[in-house]
Amino acid sequence: MAEPDYGLSARAVARTSDDEPRYIRITDFGDDGIEPGHEFVTAEKIEDGNELYPDDILFARSGSVGRTYIHEELSQPAVFAGYCIRFRFDQSQVSPRFVYWWTKTEAYSKWVAAIQRTAAQPNINKEEYKGSLIPLPPIAEQNRLVAAMDEARAERRAKLAEANALLAGMDDFLLDALGIAPPAEGTRRVFAVRGQATIDRFDPHFHSPDFSRIEEMLSQAHCEPLGNIATLSGETWKPQDHEQPTFRYIEISTVSPQTGEAYWNDVPTAEAPSRARMQIRGDDIIVSLTRPHHGSIAHLGPEFDGCIASTGFAVMRNVAEQVSREYLWCVLRAKFCLQQMLQRASGGNYPAITERELEKILIPITDAATQDYIAAEVRQRQDAARQLRGQAEAGWAAAKGWFEAALLT
């Protein structure tokens, strides 16, 4: 096995050319590598030494220590971040993919938990990684195990793709049910704006023709600004007034952008984050104000009553009688609403929208029967997608368990 090395830091920049290398960060990969369709940051290559080649494996040395990535995507050059350690292998003796799948086992996770130093930020150095012991059967057996894991991974991704397809078709369904024709695709990237149009917003991003087409599309239906049909709650919570040792905390990362489902974490009251301030009641709708176009928007059931949410959410409590809460949640997660939020957001890497700007986005208003029809169809698709995702993860967990058992027995 070759000597591992650290990646050189790269300056992340907004590039779109295929000639610019992708910048691989720990935040890009998860339990199953980098998911298909993932959006990469690109980077300027500083000097030779941090480029990635096929079957290189990256190990996280700080932060999310132990997390791994094997380089498979070869359509574009790639470099890696400085908080990763790269390993290359003698493939006559060791299959890199075998090592990669080993890092998905419980035994490897227990090794990481035992070896990491829990300082201000957990870390493992390269010498400790080099000293990690790996069960190593003959190369033919490694390849057999790798083939089985690759097949299980393909099955998992097929189910996830099917789930994503159900959700991806939601916007077309919603527009059709509302009787709205989608906007034509635009290609203009150079545009001019009259001075009168810049009174409220001077930033060019706000006046992009892409957003203008959404506004024209919504003119086909009766729409109301969100602030006219829903009011935001200002009820707050203070940890010093909380008598229990823990509280239930909802943060932006606990709301799924894909499904709009939320969950809470039990957090010690004495360690309450400074942003844990928004009091939640059952039936509230919460909207992430940071990167709102990602869709971290949830309609909370009665079991969430008494939870505390981050100040990174806007909390909608009172909704006009003519608008179903379930319908409003569906529409807020539609692409045409998420794009309105992006238009009214400001900031670079972490665009955020203010509550005042959120209240200005346009919501199509239709009759109660159509609202109920839309909400029921969306929920049905969400449930089907959730079932597919559950099957995918259950099969994946079983495959990893089989792989580990085959080695350790």
What confidence score (pLDDT) does residue 408 get?
83
For residue range 30-60, list pLDDT tens digits in order.
Answer: 777 776 666 667 766 555 567 888 999 988 8
Cα-flanking dihedrals φ and ψ of residue 360, to 5°? -90, -10
Q: Which residues of 102-136 are buried (b: 16+ CB within 10 A; e: fewer)?
A: bbbbeebeebbeeebeeeeebbbebebbeebeeee
C-alpha angle 213-216-218 in degrees, rounded to nearest 5 = 110
pTM of this structure: 0.70
End-to-end CA distance of the chain: 25
Average pLDDT, rounded, for the chain: 84
> What would the mean pLDDT of 119-131 be, rounded to a whole number?
79
Q: Is residue 17 pLDDT above 60, yes or no?
A: no
Across residues 333-340, what is the average pLDDT? 92
Handedness of CA 211, 212, 213, 215 (dihedral sign): positive
Q: How far apart are alpha carbons 359 and 296 in whole angstroms? A: 17
| Least reliable range by pLDDT among 133-147, 161-175, 288-302, 356-370 | 161-175
Residue 206 has pLDDT above 70, yes or no: no
Reply yes or no on whether the pLDDT at 11 is more than 70: no
Band (192; pLDDT cuts 50, 70, 90)? low
Could you tell me the sign of the dihedral formed by the alpha carbons of 403, 4, 124, 115, in that order? positive
- Note whether 4 and 33 are within 8 A (CB): no
Which residues on neighbouring strands pair with residue 13, listed in sequence order? 42
User: Which range among 127-131, 168-172, 304-308, 342-346 has the greatest average pLDDT?
Assistant: 304-308
Lowest mean pLDDT among 28-37, 189-198, 209-218: 189-198
Spatial distance between the Cα atoms of 96 and 101, rounded to a whole number of angstroms: 9
Structure tokens at 297: 């928007």
Other Cβ atoms less than 10 A from the Cβ of 39: the count is 5
129 closest CA partner among 113, 115, 143, 109: 115
Return d(Cα 144, Cα 150) in angstroms, integer.
Answer: 10
pLDDT at 144 over 50: yes
pLDDT tens-digit readout, 241-265: 999 999 999 999 899 888 888 999 9
Residue 47 or residue 404, greater confidence: 404
Residues whose CB is less than 8 angstroms from the CB of residue 221 and which lie 6 or more positions away in sequence, other chains included: 178, 179, 180, 364, 365, 366
